[in-house]
Amino acid sequence: MVKGTLVSINVSAKKGECKTPVPSIYVTKKGLKGDAHAGNSHRQVSLLSEESIEKMRRSGIEIGYGDFAENLTVKGIELSKLSIGQRIRVGRDVVLEVTQIGKECHQDCAIRKKIGDCIMPREGIFARVISGGLISVGDGIIID
């Protein structure tokens, strides 16, 4: 069992743009309430590790949580090593299921234009919601 911590929750009204951190949010069966990626797809929630963001910071890029358009920034879990179908428990009630590792980044990506590189295609993951609930920064994360 792998354990980690939720260090940031990030949302945006439009797809393809940086997301804004919030202290807590309700996760519905469609994704994070009010986020542009919420819906019926297999990519309802995106996750990226703080360790991945730190790699970019060490290369001299000033970057904040949500700048790679990730919904959840987590610490202590190497997300790209997870497998499709694995379950991620966030806080007390929320359960996510990994549906995609990485992604293809489109050429006119706002994040790539702003930062010069995007690590979501290499190190981000996507999940669908199995069970919803309230999550807050600082919540524990368990990989089943």
Q: Is 71:35 a contact under the CB 8 Å cutoff?
A: yes
Structural domains of the chain in order of their starting residue, each with its CATH number: 2-143 (2.40.33.20)
Question: What digits encode the pLDDT tens for the residues 88-116?
Answer: 999 999 999 999 987 665 555 565 666 66
pTM of the model: 0.88
* pLDDT score of 15: 82
Q: Is 125 exposed, middle or buried (0-12, 13-18, 19+ CB in 10 A)?
A: buried
* pLDDT score of 46: 93
Enter the tokens of residue 26.
Answer: 């309700």
**116, 119, 122, 123 alpha-carbon torsion, rounded to 10°:** 170
* Strand blocks (E) in 12-118: 20-22, 24-28, 31-32, 45-49, 72-75, 87-90, 94-101
The span from the CA of 21 to the CA of 12, in Å, is: 9
The span from the CA of 11 to the CA of 22, in Å, is: 7
Q: Is 121:130 a contact under the CB 8 Å cutoff?
A: no
Instruction: For residue 26, give the H/E element and its range.
Output: strand 24-28
Residue 116, sorted as left (phi over 0), alpha (psi -120 to 50) or beta, turns out to be: left
Residue 122 has pLDDT above 80, yes or no: no
Question: What digits encode the pLDDT tens for the residues 47-67?
Answer: 999 998 888 788 777 888 998
Please report which confidence band the pLDDT of residue 25 belongs to, taking 50, 70 and 90 as the band edges. Answer: very high
* pLDDT score of 118: 62
